[in-house]
A and B are shown apart, each in its own frame.
Chain A
């Protein structure tokens, strides 16, 4: 998992943040307008003291009642304008920023769904989740405040400095003296802050992973009474996170200390110098006061730069984490091939063929033997082939190649003569239906879960037929029948029930090709027999590949392929292999089971 190794690699914060542009682009007008409004609002605030000064010096001193009323009215208008401008800025950005966050999240989700399965094997979902939640929230905050106010405050500082230099050039230079050391110190600390921020964000992802696993594995934790050691692991991680956060705080505090101390010192120097010059008569007292009040007024914009930059750093890190996932190549890398080949409708029914198929996982260490090697297998149209092999021989991997959950690394697989690598994935997956060993149901009704396997036009009749084949009649007896919610957020069903629904999902679309990975493992003997009887009818005219562990399942097949050490070592009928192939006989009977062996030898 690519975490914790907070990359100290050379990267520019600005270049990273610029990657947000495509998402910001649609709302750029509003964001720009909001920045302008913010600048105007700040300026309005600056006019207040001027009006007050005018009132006190003019109408009040002159006892001019009309003037007083005019001044107060002016203040009121300015006040209302300022309030409305503040509100306007927020109103301008509220919806657009929420939509930026949402569209980035939607894109992340869409992209993740299309990344290769191998990617998901490597990434804990907690790390993905933390990118989709906390990181994106951070980015929304960044667009709402730091980005705007870095601009607004910079403008204010520049304007302020020009005013200062205009009031007195020498004193102005004294105030500017700490700029260089400040920039150096900030650059130093910001770099360290970025590293710490990245580490903290990755640690949050790790923590999320522990939380998720502790829930997914709750039965194991409870079954072994391991909640204490699980809590200890969690505590260690959260302590590490606390340490990182405190280190972050110390860096931030150092930035603040620099940003507070240096300008203050400069103001003090300007004050001393100014006092001497006032005493010399080289400067008027009024100018010194005006100069210093302007300098003090600039304190907040200057101080805020520190934490605004820190937030910017964190946002850059969040952006980096986000695009780390977004940059991963999605599955449709072979789209070009798909359009090039097109649905070559050869019309010839050739069944499912493996031609010298080789497969190694993309992340396998170099030099490791391939998981599947030189697989040649022909499943004739309408034929059912059982795939038998010892635990870990690569059966599940082989089945995953047919719907292209993994891509073959050598050779090819053809459906009715057409290379699947050249087929549009959607079309391929419509042709091939799959039932996995682990029957996952989604948060949806039973009916929806089953009908996922069919075209949109499939209706209740198809549903009923599929449930019937899979002996999943229990679905009708659920509280809301086939409308009952199941999955993460619904009624939890037993392993056997889920397996039957998954089977129903595989057969509901009457697919041309069917791939079943040990589809009956969680069923009891009676149910298994009933499912087999029903399945036999479906299999009669379907080209099917069935991973099987047991003779009863093998019975469904016309022929059997034996997978051993990543190779197909034998193909034949059950009886032939039982007679001629020692490994097969061993797999099917268990050599030490006396009566089984007898019957096997029969």
Chain B
């Protein structure tokens, strides 16, 4: 895997003095994979998924109704053939027989055709719902903040969009048909029974009460089990994904056996809840079958006695008993429906919980969104202003105390300071990965919160030390910076940053698939790709957060040479502990404990006796000896 989960920034720096306490483990819904789902959100989600397809759901139901009618016509034709066809043939009248033949053929053909139409129609409904739901999960997950993703983990998100969606699919694929068939026969047969004999019919209807109670009981107990199962499989997936993504260290530190043990634990938890759920289903089947069969026996007993007393016609009893068997036939199907419903409900609840997460960094309303003013000069740079900005985590720990800062258009600013001084937070506020707790971040006077996504990214782009490559070719990975870029643009960006040579030497050059043969790309090379991506994006403000950490010195030099040209006229914020960056900076900010403690031109600061001067001396000593 070229990917790595490992390189990530942190919203919470434990080195920070006055560190905000993480909520204790048992209080954090993220730990238990149990985000709060607002009441009513699950049914509302299902409704909103199905309501645009109302017409097609009705169509599918009607097709099924017609199909059932065609199927049920068979016995009637048999009766007609025996009662009318036989005497007619004996009388040399073949009319009724031909009618039966034609009728049966029609029924056979139409029930086949209707079956076909129903399956296709219901598959469309179910696939459209799934498409909609998958898209919603994906888009919502993308809209949620970086902070959220750091806590939710990719494994859970995968679990939401695969196994949880899959259980809804089962409900839609099989459940719809089950439910319609079950309801149809309950209504139809109850009506027939009541019509045949009010008393017998009433007993049959009365048996629905214990059945209903059983259904409720099952729903409650299975609901809890299915929720547990959904959490259990998510935990399995998280462990699985983490292990496969970190396979190198797993190997090198002989974690295989320890992982096997841990995985077995999680897997067994899933196995247990899985078995529990199936046993609960077994209990329901026994219970409901018992109620049904006892009701049949009771009705037969009562009816037979009434016949014996002369209070009931024999034919009525016979018919009633035949219908009774069929009344309870769909009980198993009801069970299967409930099963898939419960499983889907548990999954939908988890999905609804995810969808209910409000993006912490929302895009503005399209109506409220503002555009950046037209650039005043031919230079692309824009002015950045932090206006009374303060930043603290939800949990209350202050990372950046209130400060004001203005970066004039076109200025290249280096931000230095030790780990945890708040450099990355400053960068993330500017890139709008976070919003400030107080105050505003302004780009040419416009609050970042008022900029639509596309406009914001034309304004500000951030390159982090994390150099993740997506599946696809090298060229595609660079073109993430500007999707409409031509191959020439891509190559120009790669050349400018010094990445062209290594890309050209790959088996298929720019078209090398980063996950296929020969596509192995080292960490330093990935950083070069990330740089090319940023160059291509051509933003007004460029933020580089430790973006050269894996490059060798010539590589870093090449990047800096390129930056000299690239950054000219652009506003840039460069965070690096390799102070060579300072060479290209117009201005240096030194941060300590969330505060800017020194601010000036590199020359002035080096000449002074502040902390930067000593940092720079230490760095000089480290570079050359």
Query: Taking the complex as formed, is B192 at the interface, i.e. its CB lies under 8 A from any CB of chain A?
Result: no
Are A452 and B253 neighbours in the complex by a CB distance under 8 Å? yes
Residues 154-190 of A contacting B (Cβ, < 8 Å): none
Query: Taking the complex as formed, is A84 at the interface, i.e. its CB lies under 8 A from any CB of chain B?
Result: yes
Are B420 and A231 neighbours in the complex by a CB distance under 8 Å? no
Are B112 and A260 neighbours in the complex by a CB distance under 8 Å? yes
Are A439 and B6 neighbours in the complex by a CB distance under 8 Å? yes
Q: Quick one: which of B31, B74, B130, B292 contacts A242, CB cutoff 8 A?
A: B130
User: What are the residues of chain A within 8 A of B418 when measuring CB–CB?
Assistant: 524, 526-527
Q: Within the complex, what minimum Cβ distance (angstroms) separates B180 from chain A? A: 16
Are A518 and B550 neighbours in the complex by a CB distance under 8 Å? yes
Residue of A nearest to B82 (CB): A285
Nearest 7 CB-CB pairings of A with B: A79-B293, A225-B457, A268-B104, A261-B112, A249-B123, A264-B108, A87-B286
Residue of A nearest to B315 (CB): A56
Are A254 and B116 neighbours in the complex by a CB distance under 8 Å? yes
Are B86 and A278 neighbours in the complex by a CB distance under 8 Å? yes
Are B279 and A271 neighbours in the complex by a CB distance under 8 Å? no
Are B115 and A72 neighbours in the complex by a CB distance under 8 Å? no
Residue of B nearest to A593 (CB): B557
Residue from B286, B420, B537, B556 having most chain A Cβ neighbours under 10 A: B286
Total of A-B residue pairs, C-beta within 8 Å: 583
What are 14 A-B pairs with beta-carbon distances under 8 A?
Answer: A90-B282, A95-B275, A109-B260, A109-B267, A114-B256, A219-B433, A225-B454, A226-B457, A249-B120, A253-B115, A390-B554, A489-B153, A521-B550, A525-B615
User: What are the residues of chain B within 8 A of A60 when measuring CB–CB?
Assistant: 304, 307-308, 314, 317
Q: Quick one: which of A204, A242, A485 contacts B131, CB cutoff 8 A?
A: A242
- What interface size band does chain B fall in? 35 or more
Q: Quick one: which of B123, B322, B533 contacts A224, CB cutoff 8 A?
A: B533
Are B101 and A550 neighbours in the complex by a CB distance under 8 Å? no
Residues 410-455 of B contacting A (Cβ, < 8 Å): 417-420, 424, 431, 433, 453-454
Q: Known pairs A268-B101, A484-B14, A495-B465. 15 more at Cβ < 8 A?
A: A71-B304, A75-B300, A80-B294, A83-B290, A95-B279, A99-B275, A256-B115, A264-B108, A276-B89, A361-B517, A390-B554, A429-B252, A474-B14, A488-B5, A493-B14
Are B119 and A211 neighbours in the complex by a CB distance under 8 Å? no
Q: Within the complex, what minimum Cβ distance (angstroms) separates B259 from chain A? A: 6
User: What are the residues of chain A within 8 A of B14 when measuring CB–CB?
Assistant: 474, 477-479, 484, 491, 493, 497
Residue of B nearest to A597 (CB): B624
Are B5 and A440 neighbours in the complex by a CB distance under 8 Å? yes
User: What are the residues of chain B within 8 A of A595 when measuring CB–CB?
Assistant: 624
Residue from B135, B419, B507, B525 having most chain A Cβ neighbours under 10 A: B419
Query: Taking the complex as formed, is B549 at the interface, i.e. its CB lies under 8 A from any CB of chain A?
Result: yes
User: What are the residues of chain A within 8 A of B159 when measuring CB–CB?
Assistant: 133
Binary interface profile of A, 224-257, with partner B (CB < 8 Å = 1, else 0)?
A: 1111111100110011001001101110111011
User: What are the residues of chain A within 8 A of B6 when measuring CB–CB?
Assistant: 438-441, 498
Query: Taking the complex as formed, is A327 at the interface, i.e. its CB lies under 8 A from any CB of chain B?
Result: no
Query: Taking the complex as formed, is A93 at the interface, i.e. its CB lies under 8 A from any CB of chain B?
Result: yes
Are A224 and B481 neighbours in the complex by a CB distance under 8 Å? yes
Query: Taking the complex as formed, is A117 at the interface, i.e. its CB lies under 8 A from any CB of chain B?
Result: yes
Q: Quick one: which of A258, A264, A403 contacts B107, CB cutoff 8 A?
A: A264
Q: Within the complex, what minimum Cβ distance (angstroms) separates B32 from chain A? A: 11
Q: Within the complex, what minimum Cβ distance (angstroms) separates A278 from chain B? A: 5
Query: Taking the complex as formed, is A381 at the interface, i.e. its CB lies under 8 A from any CB of chain B?
Result: no
Binary interface profile of A, 377-393, with partner B (CB < 8 Å = 1, else 0)?
A: 00000000000001110
Q: A272-B101, A429-B251 are in contact. Are A125 and B241 (CB under 8 A)?
A: yes
User: What are the residues of chain B within 8 A of A356 when measuring CB–CB?
Assistant: none
Are B15 and A265 neighbours in the complex by a CB distance under 8 Å? no
Query: Taking the complex as formed, is A5 at the interface, i.e. its CB lies under 8 A from any CB of chain B?
Result: no
Q: A226-B480, A426-B254, A525-B618 are in contact. Are A216 and B3 (CB under 8 A)?
A: yes
Surface stretch bound by A, among B140-148, B201-209, B364-372, B381-389: B140-148
Residue of B nearest to A91 (CB): B282
Binary interface profile of A, 470-482, with partner B (CB < 8 Å = 1, else 0)?
A: 0000100111000
Q: Within the complex, what minimum Cβ distance (angstroms) separates A41 from chain B? A: 10
Q: Within the complex, what minimum Cβ distance (angstroms) separates B165 from chain A? A: 10
Q: A224-B480, A391-B502, A477-B14 are in contact. Are A505 and B253 (CB under 8 A)?
A: yes
Are A453 and B453 neighbours in the complex by a CB distance under 8 Å? no
- Cα A495 to Cα B123 in complex, Å, equals 48
Query: Taking the complex as formed, is A288 at the interface, i.e. its CB lies under 8 A from any CB of chain B?
Result: yes
Are A589 and B256 neighbours in the complex by a CB distance under 8 Å? no
Residues 79-107 of B contacting A (Cβ, < 8 Å): 81-82, 85-87, 89-90, 97, 100-101, 104-105, 107
Q: Quick one: which of A260, A474, A485 contacts B115, CB cutoff 8 A?
A: A260
User: What are the residues of chain B within 8 A of A275 when measuring CB–CB?
Assistant: 81-82, 85-86, 89, 97, 100
Query: Taking the complex as formed, is A335 at the interface, i.e. its CB lies under 8 A from any CB of chain B?
Result: no
- Cα A436 to Cα B250 in complex, Å, equals 11
Query: Taking the complex as formed, is B25 at the interface, i.e. its CB lies under 8 A from any CB of chain A?
Result: yes
- What interface size band does chain A fall in? 35 or more
Q: Within the complex, what minimum Cβ distance (angstroms) separates A550 from chain B? A: 7
User: What are the residues of chain B within 8 A of A253 when measuring CB–CB?
Assistant: 115-120, 123
Residue from A84, A209, A441, A493 having most chain B Cβ neighbours under 10 A: A493
Q: Quick one: which of A223, A242, A264, A276 contacts B104, CB cutoff 8 A?
A: A264
Residue from A64, A144, A268 having most chain B Cβ neighbours under 10 A: A268
Query: Taking the complex as formed, is B40 at the interface, i.e. its CB lies under 8 A from any CB of chain A?
Result: no
Q: Quick one: which of B22, B253, B554 contacts A491, CB cutoff 8 A?
A: B22
- Cα A296 to Cα B77 in complex, Å, equals 13
Q: Within the complex, what minimum Cβ distance (angstroms) separates B327 from chain A? A: 13
- Cα A405 to Cα B252 in complex, Å, equals 7
- Cα A235 to Cα B136 in complex, Å, equals 10
Q: Within the complex, what minimum Cβ distance (angstroms) separates B474 from chain A? A: 13
User: What are the residues of chain A within 8 A of B546 when measuring CB–CB?
Assistant: 495, 522
Are B289 and A549 neighbours in the complex by a CB distance under 8 Å? no
User: What are the residues of chain B within 8 A of A458 when measuring CB–CB?
Assistant: none
Query: Taking the complex as formed, is B379 at the interface, i.e. its CB lies under 8 A from any CB of chain A?
Result: no
Query: Taking the complex as formed, is B244 at the interface, i.e. its CB lies under 8 A from any CB of chain A?
Result: yes
Query: Taking the complex as formed, is B357 at the interface, i.e. its CB lies under 8 A from any CB of chain A?
Result: no
Query: Taking the complex as formed, is A333 at the interface, i.e. its CB lies under 8 A from any CB of chain B?
Result: no
Q: Within the complex, what minimum Cβ distance (angstroms) separates B119 from chain A? A: 4
- Cα A491 to Cα B153 in complex, Å, equals 11
- Cα A217 to Cα B127 in complex, Å, equals 28
User: What are the residues of chain A within 8 A of B470 when measuring CB–CB?
Assistant: 213, 217, 220
Query: Taking the complex as formed, is A208 at the interface, i.e. its CB lies under 8 A from any CB of chain B?
Result: yes
User: What are the residues of chain A within 8 A of B116 when measuring CB–CB?
Assistant: 253-254, 256-257
Q: A125-B245, A245-B127, A438-B523 are in contact. Are A224 and B461 (CB under 8 A)?
A: yes
Query: Taking the complex as formed, is A202 at the interface, i.e. its CB lies under 8 A from any CB of chain B?
Result: no
Residues 137-181 of B contacting A (Cβ, < 8 Å): 138-139, 141-143, 146, 149-150, 153-155, 157-159, 161-163, 166
Q: Within the complex, what minimum Cβ distance (angstroms) separates B388 from chain A? A: 25
User: What are the residues of chain B within 8 A of A474 when measuring CB–CB?
Assistant: 14-15
User: What are the residues of chain A within 8 A of B507 when measuring CB–CB?
Assistant: 365, 368
Q: A83-B289, A430-B254 are in contact. Are A596 and B623 (CB under 8 A)?
A: yes
Query: Taking the complex as formed, is A36 at the interface, i.e. its CB lies under 8 A from any CB of chain B?
Result: no
Query: Taking the complex as formed, is B242 at the interface, i.e. its CB lies under 8 A from any CB of chain A?
Result: yes
Q: Within the complex, what minimum Cβ distance (angstroms) separates B71 from chain A? A: 8
Q: Within the complex, what minimum Cβ distance (angstroms) separates A130 from chain B? A: 7
Q: A125-B1, A361-B518 are in contact. Are A87 and B552 (CB under 8 A)?
A: no
Residue of B nearest to A49 (CB): B325
Query: Taking the complex as formed, is B520 at the interface, i.e. its CB lies under 8 A from any CB of chain A?
Result: yes
Q: A133-B162, A525-B615, A526-B418 are in contact. Are A391 and B242 (CB under 8 A)?
A: no
Q: A113-B250, A219-B8, A264-B107 are in contact. Are A82 and B289 (CB under 8 A)?
A: yes
User: What are the residues of chain A within 8 A of B599 when measuring CB–CB?
Assistant: none
Query: Taking the complex as formed, is B551 at the interface, i.e. its CB lies under 8 A from any CB of chain A?
Result: yes
User: What are the residues of chain A within 8 A of B104 when measuring CB–CB?
Assistant: 264-265, 267-268, 271-272
User: What are the residues of chain B within 8 A of A24 when measuring CB–CB?
Assistant: none
Query: Taking the complex as formed, is A370 at the interface, i.e. its CB lies under 8 A from any CB of chain B?
Result: no
Binary interface profile of A, 1-34, with partner B (CB < 8 Å = 1, else 0)?
A: 1000000000000000000000000000000000
Residue from B74, B454, B470 having most chain A Cβ neighbours under 10 A: B470
